[in-house]
Amino acid sequence: MTTILMIGTRKGLWVGRSEDRADWSFTGPHHDMEEVYSCLVDTRGATPRLFSGASSSWLGPQLRWSEDLGETWQETPNGAVRFPEGAGATLERIWQIVPGTDPGVLHAGTEPGAVFTSRDGGASFALEEGLWNHPHRAEWGEGFGGQAFHTVLPHPTDADSLTVAISTGGVYQTRDGGGSWAPRNQGIRADFLPEEQRYPEFGQCVHKVTRHPARPERLYAQNHGGVYRSDDEGGSWTSIGDELPSDFGFPIVVHPHRPDTIWVFPLGGGERRYPPEARARVWRSDDAGESWASYGEGLPDAFYVGVMRDAMCVDSGDPAGLYFGARNGSVWASADDGESWRQIAADLPDVMSVKVGSFRSGAE
């Protein structure tokens, strides 16, 4: 198997390759001096395709793809991901690019807060107007990082079902192909609101939502203060962060083969965005959040930076390979379900997105 690791930073993209998840070679920077907030290794086709959502200070945002593992890149025609005339908005960043349920379908989450869908492999995208015209949108705020649909979560078998999350607006879901969207935030606490208003219908600052395709009804969320599980696809949420040293963080990742196993990277809180006691640790639960264990073999004990919502990911290996990139430009990898770690890249720019994909080498 060949493993490809895409590392998006504030000053370009790096592409790593490994045949054994031990020795890595990297190329980059691709899209030099452009902010790369989103990456995708799409292995659904006969050959893997890499996507990157890059943003230039001069030319604006652009979705690019490569069919030769990053050696050359193509741009989507006419920008592809852009607001239609009359929408009253201009695209600032592409925060998310994910494969849809059906072949050839891609979803993009953007800033300003919107979701776009492509049904032709990324050649063109259409705005999800039902969500853009939702009456709640006027009241969605912005987190410190901006207003962005940072979670776009297609249902693994139902192409009409899509769950999304925005900071700060909360979780929304459609079950009719985008015709209507409902908030799905019951039980998620908004700590920044007055005490009597801390469980609103919408307005929560959700940082990331994930799930395992074998259990699509179970969702996990890392909130701006709070780690949660839903067993009814977002209809209600239960706190599962009590055993963690901090329930503040950005990423949450689910194991590729075990639906009850999840990882988080706790930070000190909204005012201290580095790990508790500055000790870099990945926390894992093997029982859907009922209990947690800390893993840090190989990780530093003086780590004064954070890990962003899309800068932690997992491959499909067994045992699973786990990866994260930090805001000091370091990238770390584990080949044993997150139990031991080693640094595979250093001195990169501020890491915003880390995505991985594996394929058999003959598929190139």
The enclosing domain of 244 has a CATH number of: 2.130.10.10
Q: What is the mean pLDDT of the chain?
A: 95
In the chain, how many domains are there? Answer: 1
119 assigned to some structural domain: yes
Q: Is the pTM of this model over 0.85?
A: yes
The whole-number average pLDDT for the span 246-272 is 94
Task: Quote the pLDDT of residue 22.
Answer: 95
Peptide bond into 112 cis (omega under 30): yes
Flag whether pLDDT at 59 surpasses 60. yes
pLDDT digits (tens, 9 = 90+) for 12-43: 999 999 999 999 999 999 999 999 999 999 99
Task: Average the pLDDT over each of 72-81, 221-230, 327-336 and give the range with the smallest value.
Answer: 72-81
Task: Quote the pLDDT of residue 362.
Answer: 62
Flag whether pLDDT at 342 surpasses 90. yes
% of the chain residues with pLDDT over 70 = 99
Task: Quote the pLDDT of residue 191.
Answer: 85
pLDDT digits (tens, 9 = 90+) for 112-147: 999 999 999 999 999 999 999 999 999 998 877 778
* Amino acid at the residue 311: A
Task: Quote the pLDDT of residue 336.
Answer: 98
Of the pLDDT bands very low, low, confident and very high (cuts 50, 70, 90), residue 350 is very high
% of the chain residues with pLDDT over 90 = 88
**Cβ neighbours for 163, distance < 8 A, ≥ 6 positions apart:** 151, 153, 155, 171, 172, 173, 184, 209, 219, 233, 234
58 assigned to some structural domain: yes
351 assigned to some structural domain: yes
Report CA-CA distances (Å) from 42 to 4, 105, 111, 357: 10, 11, 22, 7
101 assigned to some structural domain: yes
Task: Quote the pLDDT of residue 364.
Answer: 54
176 assigned to some structural domain: yes
364 assigned to some structural domain: no
Range of the domain at 151: 2-359
Tell me the C-alpha distance between 52 and 41, whole Å.
9
Which carries the bigger pLDDT value, residue 78 or residue 294?
A: 294
